[in-house]
């Protein structure tokens, strides 16, 4: 029998080194479920030595509560379309499995259970499916399943790494990372795995962490083509012509030598959240979608990674 690892945080007020604010305990979060901010961010923070999920008010930038509190690594969260649940990966039993947590109650359940690693889950725009990365068939590939963990379908079958999926806003396509051309590049396929086309290919750099803009016109991704990981954006009109995509990709974080990672669009497409180690430890930042007006959001012990923003429209 699998034991639920997500114990409710102790009813303490934990002083967070995030802009000098306080973290509210999870029981208080449940009591405040009717007053949760519409604009909210979930991210992973290893302030206690392992990564747990934390909830932040996207307007005030105050950390509201830790959503998980355990001795494992809870990473790569993704919101359900209605903002009520979060799907994420955790290495509870050494290998990574996929869990879902209700942010109002703190209750969690496991969606996958096997001896392999299931990682990087992302909710489909219509809320009916979750795409994820798994090595369950002895190779890293992209899979989809229904939101209850059933109906698992393998979408990619290349004999190399395929993973880190992201849905287009209309749910018709999935962009993902592929190593089929020796370097890791971004490919795009239909949501059923058909019609695979290149976004970036042929370079010796590593391109990863794609994420679609809310209007469907751009894909942000991370690449080390400039010498260190930076965040780039490219117009999706070049899908199928990787030379044109590589030529037109714009580096948004070229002004520093730190590693810039984990881009996440705001729901209105105005901002991009990301993690950056430009000041040694990885912290959360936001910038305009054109790379201007970079603002640091967090500053504290440990590292903050994998931001995901949800706004009630």
pLDDT digits (tens, 9 = 90+) for 174-213: 999 998 766 799 999 999 999 999 999 866 789 999 999 9
The class of domain 14-311 in CATH terms is mainly beta
Nearest CA-CA partner of 171 in 120, 227, 129: 129
Confidence of residue 34 (pLDDT cuts 50, 70, 90): low
Q: Give the residue ranges of DSSP H helices in the chain.
A: 26-31, 242-248
**What is d(CA 169, CA 278) in angstroms, rounded to the nearest whole number?**
31
User: Parallel, antiparallel, or unpaired for β 197-200 and 52-57?
Assistant: unpaired
pLDDT 10s digits, 273-291 = 999 998 878 999 999 999 9
In the three-class reduction of DSSP (H, G, I as helix; E, B as strand; rest coil), residue 271 is classed as strand
Report H helices in 252-302: none
37 confidence band (pLDDT: 50, 70, 90): confident
**Least confident residue range of 32-46, 216-230, 234-248:** 32-46
Domain ranges of the chain: 14-311
Q: Is 211 within 8 Å of 224 (Cβ atoms)?
A: no
Q: With a cut of 80, say whether residue 8 has pLDDT above it.
A: no
B/e letters for 251-276, b = 16+ CB within 10 Å, e = fewer, are ebbeeeebbbbbbbbbbeeebbbbbb
Q: ∠ at Cα 212 (217, 87), nearest 5°? A: 155
Which token pair is 127?
A: 């809320």
**What 3-state class would DSSP assign to 199?**
strand
Mean pLDDT across the chain = 86
For residue range 53-100, list pLDDT tens digits in order.
Answer: 999 998 888 888 889 988 899 999 999 999 999 999 999 878 999 999
> Looking at residues 296-308, what average pLDDT do you find?
90
Tell me the percentage of the chain whose pLDDT exceeds 90: 64
Residue 118: CB partners within 8 Å, gap ≥ 6? 89, 96, 97, 98, 112, 132, 133, 134, 136, 143
CA distance linking residue 229 with residue 259, whole number of Å: 5
Q: Is the pLDDT score of 2 beyond 80? A: no
pLDDT, one tens digit per residue, over 100-158 is: 999 878 888 999 999 999 999 999 999 999 999 999 998 999 999 999 999 999 999 98
Q: Among 2-16, 22-36, 111-125, 292-306, where is mean pLDDT lowest?
A: 2-16
Which residue is it, tokens 């068939």? 137
């Amino acid at each position: 029998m699998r034991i639920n690892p997500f114990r409710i945080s102790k009813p303490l007020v934990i002083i967070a080194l995030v802009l000098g604010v306080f973290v509210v305990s999870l029981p208080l979060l449940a009591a405040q479920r009717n007053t949760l901010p519409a604009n909210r961010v979930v991210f992973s923070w290893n302030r206690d030595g392992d990564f747990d999920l934390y909830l932040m008010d996207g307007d005030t930038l105050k950390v509201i509560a830790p959503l998980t509190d355990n001795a494992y690594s809870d990473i790569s969260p993704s919101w359900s379309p209605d903002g009520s649940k979060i799907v994420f990966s955790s290495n509870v039993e050494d290998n990574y499995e996929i869990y879902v947590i209700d942010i109002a109650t703190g209750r969690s359940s496991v969606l996958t259970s096997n001896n392999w690693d299931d990682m990087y889950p992302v909710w489909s725009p219509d809320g009916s499916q979750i795409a994820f990365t798994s090595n369950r068939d002895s190779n890293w590939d992209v899979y989809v399943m229904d939101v209850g963990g059933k109906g698992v379908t393998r979408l990619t079958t290349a004999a190399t790494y395929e993973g880190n999926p992201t849905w287009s806003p209309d749910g018709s396509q999935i962009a993902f990372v592929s190593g089929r051309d020796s370097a890791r590049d971004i490919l795009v396929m239909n949501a059923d795995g058909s019609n695979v086309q290149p976004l970036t290919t042929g370079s010796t750099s590593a391109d990863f962490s794609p994420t679609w803009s809310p209007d469907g016109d751009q894909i942000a991704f991370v690449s080390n083509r400039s010498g260190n990981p930076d965040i780039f954006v490219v117009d999706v009109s070049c899908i199928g012509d990787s030379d044109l995509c590589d030529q037109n990709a714009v580096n948004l974080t070229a002004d520093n030598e730190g590693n810039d990672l984990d881009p996440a669009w705001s729901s209105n497409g105005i901002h991009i959240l990301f993690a950056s180690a430009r000041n040694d430890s990885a912290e959360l930042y936001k910038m305009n979608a054109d790379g201007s007006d970079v603002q640091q959001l967090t500053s504290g012990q440990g590292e903050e990674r994998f931001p995901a923003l949800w706004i009630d429209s």
